[in-house]
A and B are shown apart, each in its own frame.
Chain A
Amino acid sequence: MLQVSGLSVSFRSEHGLVRAVDNVSFDVGEREILGVVGESGSGKTISLLSVMGLINDPNAVIEGSIVYKGRELLGLPQRELRHVRGKEIAMIFQDPMTALTPVYTIGWQIAEQVLTHNAVSRRAARARAIELLSAVGIPNPDVSVDRYPHQLSGGMRQRAVIAMALSCNPSLLIADEPTTALDVTVQAQILELIQKLRRDFGSAVVLITHDMGVVAEVADRVQVMYAGRIVERGAKRDLFKAPRHPYTWGLLDSIPPLDGPRPRRLKSIAGMPPSLLDLPTGCAFGPRCRYRFDKCDERPGLAGSGGHDSACFLSPDARAAAWSGRLLDNKAVS
Chain B
Amino acid sequence: MNGAATAPLLEAVGLSKNFSIGGRLSPGGRKTVRAVDNVSLQVWPGETVGLVGESGCGKSTLGRCLVRLYDVTSGQLRFKGEDISQYGRRQLRPIREEMQMVFQDPYASLNPRRRVGDLIAEPLRVHGRRSRAEIAARVRELMGLVGLSTDQLERFPHEFSGGQRQRIGIARALALRPKVLVLDEPVSALDVSIRAGILNLLQDAQAARDLSYVFVSHDLSVVRHIATRVAVMYLGKIVEVAPVEQLFTAAAHPYTQALISAIPVPDPRKERSRRRVVVTGDVPSAVNPPTGCRFRTRCPKFATLSEDKAERCINEEPARLQQEVDHVAACHYAAAEEVV
Interface residues of A (CB under 8 A from B): 39-40, 139, 153-156, 183-189, 191, 210-217, 236-237, 240-241, 250-259, 262-263, 265-269, 272-273
Contact = CB atoms under 8 A, between A and B. Distances in A.
Contacts of B192: 39, 210-212, 251, 254-255
B196 A184 contact: no
B223 to A, nearest CB: 9
B263 A212 contact: no
A252 B193 CA distance: 9
Nearest to B285: A153
B267 interface: yes
5 nearest A-B residue pairs (beta carbon)? A213-B264, A268-B196, A256-B225, A212-B266, A266-B196
B197 A216 contact: no
Interface residues of B, number: 42
Interface in B177-228: 191-197, 199-200, 203, 218, 220-222, 224-225
A156 B340 CA distance: 27
Interface in B208-253: 218, 220-222, 224-225, 248
A240 to B, nearest CB: 5
Contact of B263 (A240, A251, A258): A258
B271 A216 contact: yes
Given A40-B191, A258-B220, A185 B268 contact: no
A216 B268 contact: yes
23 contacts: A39-B193, A40-B191, A154-B55, A185-B262, A185-B279, A213-B265, A215-B266, A216-B266, A216-B268, A217-B264, A240-B266, A241-B269, A251-B193, A252-B266, A254-B192, A255-B192, A257-B221, A262-B224, A267-B196, A268-B195, A272-B163, A272-B194, A273-B191
Contact of B54 (A39, A185, A254): A185
A236 B268 contact: yes
B276 to A, nearest CB: 8
A20 B31 CA distance: 48
Contacts of A216: 264-268, 271
Given A39-B193, A255-B221, A266 B262 contact: no
- Chain B interface SS verdict (over half): helix
A213 B222 contact: no
Nearest to A252: B266
A139 B281 contact: yes
B264 A211 contact: yes
A211 B225 CA distance: 17
Given A256-B224, A268-B196, A268-B197, A184 B267 contact: no
B282 interface: yes
B92 interface: no
A190 to B, nearest CB: 11
A240 B267 contact: yes
Nearest to A267: B196
Contacts of B269: 240-241
Interface centre among B260, B264, B268, B278 (most CB of A within 10 A): B264
Given A213-B264, A216-B266, 18 more contacts: A184-B54, A184-B218, A184-B220, A188-B276, A188-B278, A211-B264, A212-B266, A213-B266, A215-B266, A216-B265, A217-B271, A236-B268, A240-B268, A240-B269, A252-B266, A254-B192, A254-B193, A256-B224
